[in-house]
Amino acid sequence: MAPPRKSASLSGVERRAVELDTIASVLPIDRRDELAELLTDSDVETLRHLVNEGMGANTLRAITSDLAYIEAWALAATKRSLPWPAPEALLLKFVAQHLWDPQKRATDPDHGMPADVVDNLRGQGFLKSTGPHAPATVRRRLANWSTLTKWRGLDGAFASPPLKSAIRLAVRAVPRKRTRKSAKAVTGDILAKMLATCSTNSLRDVRDLAILMVAFASGGRRRSEIAGLRVEQLTEEAPIEVADGSTLPSLAIHLGRTKSTNGEEDDVVYLTGRPVEALRAWLAAAKVDRGSVFRGIGRWGTVSKRALDPQSVNAILKQRAELAGLDPGEFSAHGLRSGYLTEAANRGIPLPEAMEQSRHRSVQQASSYYNNATRRSGRAARML
């Protein structure tokens, strides 16, 4: 992607805003002007390089968000722009200000993130929580910080023993209850209630029915995969014969690049029966024969040419949960992924077979859903 022609009359902020426009498709563009003020010329150049390297949109969006946060924190905490490479002392400061002990903070106001830094970040919309950050969030931001440092051709102190020790001790000092991305899994019975709310022939009902059924039946696809699904990824397969002599429609989804794959291998999952019919009904009703499968619907029933945003998939699931009389706060799009494996366990489907569809790479991660589904009713929990 060629950089835009620069004008000598533009200020640095204005120039960066124009340059950010060139990669708007993979950036949180609603904050473009804020990013133009916050990020440096070198930051923007690094992001443009990553776009040219073909990095996945969701990965780049996450890196951009983390870079913006780290830049904002550095300015608030040190009154200076982020140095490259960051010295070990700054990395340790980052850990200390994000992984702190709430009990110690109650008696020592200087413990953790200083109040003026908190106010600064909260005022810019970068900080929403009132407590320490989740260890996973801190590790992810440090990992992206390290990645950006390497892409600049620099060496950082991210693997230093003091930094690793500081993170380990901070996590150990403040035990945290691990929570799932979705408080409740969307298992078969819950999904049926959500699907029942899509009972009319309206475009929204037809679309949402297809989204829920395809996301679940294809192995619990991630919301980014559903939002980014394209007609070109779909392949008609031969019908599946069943015991009574009838056939079920079948369709293959070629996943391409996902969170756990690089797109070089042809990962395929399959849809059979009702999900195929629901998907075909949406494509016909929306008159979609190429490009993005799932799209926004305007106020007057017009179908957008642009793909749904991944967050919209999450919003649709929550809306259907509410319409079904469920608590939307207990569900998220990730509940479809965990729900698929939980339902597979409930139905006695072998773990390897379920993983072929879910495309989980980690047996340990996938098996945790099986364990949660069977432990309560298993013999080990009924020793007395």
pLDDT (0 to 100) of residue 17: 65
pLDDT, residue 121, reads 92
Q: In this structure, are residues 77 and 117 in contact, taking their beta carbons and an 8 Å threshold?
A: yes
- % of the chain with per-residue pLDDT over 90: 36
Per CATH, domain 188-379 is 3.40.50.720: no
Pairing of strands 295-297, 303-307: antiparallel
Q: Between 195 and 346, where is the model more confident?
A: 195
* Structure token digits, residue 362: 């980690």
Q: What is the mean pLDDT of residues 343-361?
A: 77
Q: What is the pLDDT of residue 5?
A: 40
Q: Which two tokens stand for residue 267?
A: 């990962």
The predicted pLDDT at position 41 comes to 76
Peptide bond into 249 cis (omega under 30): no
**Proportion of the chain above pLDDT 70, given as a percent:** 77
Is pLDDT at 353 greater than 80 in this prediction?
no
Cα–Cα distance for residue pair 204/312, rounded to 1 Å: 13
CA 18/CA 127 separation, integer angstroms: 27
> Residue 249's Cα: distance from chain center in Å?
31
Quick one: pLDDT at residue 93?
A: 94
Average pLDDT over residues 281-294: 94
Q: For residue 23, what pLDDT band results from cuts at 50, 70 and 90?
A: low
Average pLDDT along the chain: 81
Handedness of CA 106, 107, 112, 115 (dihedral sign): positive
Q: Does residue 348 carry a pLDDT above 70?
A: yes
CB of 219 closer than 8 Å to CB of 237: no
Asked if 145 and 86 count as a contact pair (C-beta separation under 8 A), the reply is: yes
318's CB contacts (< 8 A; 6+ apart) are 328, 331, 332
Q: Where is mean pLDDT largest: 179-193, 198-212, 347-361?
A: 198-212
pLDDT of residue 275: 94
Cα 91 to Cα 165: distance, rounded to the nearest angstrom? 12
Query: Which residue bears the tokens 């805003």?
Result: 17
Whole-number Å distance between alpha carbons of 346 and 349: 8
| Structure confidence at residue 250 as a pLDDT band (50, 70, 90) | very high
Q: Would you state the pLDDT for residue 377? A: 56
Half-sphere exposure of 90 (CA within 13 A, CB side): 22
Higher pLDDT: 293 or 34? It is 293
Indicate the Cα dihedral angle 73, 79, 81, 83, nearest 10°: -90
How far from 144 is each of 43, 277, 295, CA to CA, in Å?
Answer: 13, 41, 30
Highest mean pLDDT out of 131-135, 232-236, 308-312, 348-352: 232-236
- If you average pLDDT over residues 65-92, what whole number do you get? 91
Q: Of 82, 62, 17, 70, give the one whose Cα is nearest residue 44.
A: 17
Q: Is the pLDDT assigned to residue 193 strictly greater than 50?
A: yes
Q: Check pLDDT > 70 for residue 123.
A: yes
pLDDT at 81 over 70: yes
Please give the order of strands across the beta sheet that includes 247-254. Answer: 234-241, 247-254, 268-272
pLDDT of residue 351: 74
Which pLDDT does position 97 carry in this prediction? 92
Checking if the pLDDT of 29 tops 50, the result is: no
Most confident of 52-66, 127-141, 293-307: 293-307
Structure confidence by residue, pLDDT tens digits, 199-246: 999 999 999 999 999 999 888 898 889 998 999 999 999 998 888 888
Structure tokens at 109: 């106001």
Q: Is the pLDDT confidence value at 51 over 70?
A: no
Q: What local confidence, expressed as pLDDT, does residue 7 receive?
A: 40
Which is more confidently placed, 27 or 299?
299
Q: Would you say residue 366 has pLDDT above 80?
A: no
For residue 330, give Cα distances in angstroms to 77, 119, 214. Answer: 36, 30, 21
Q: Where in the chain is the domain with CATH 1.10.443.10?
A: 188-379
Confidence (pLDDT) at 10: 58
**Model confidence band, residue 3 (pLDDT cutoffs 50, 70, 90):** very low
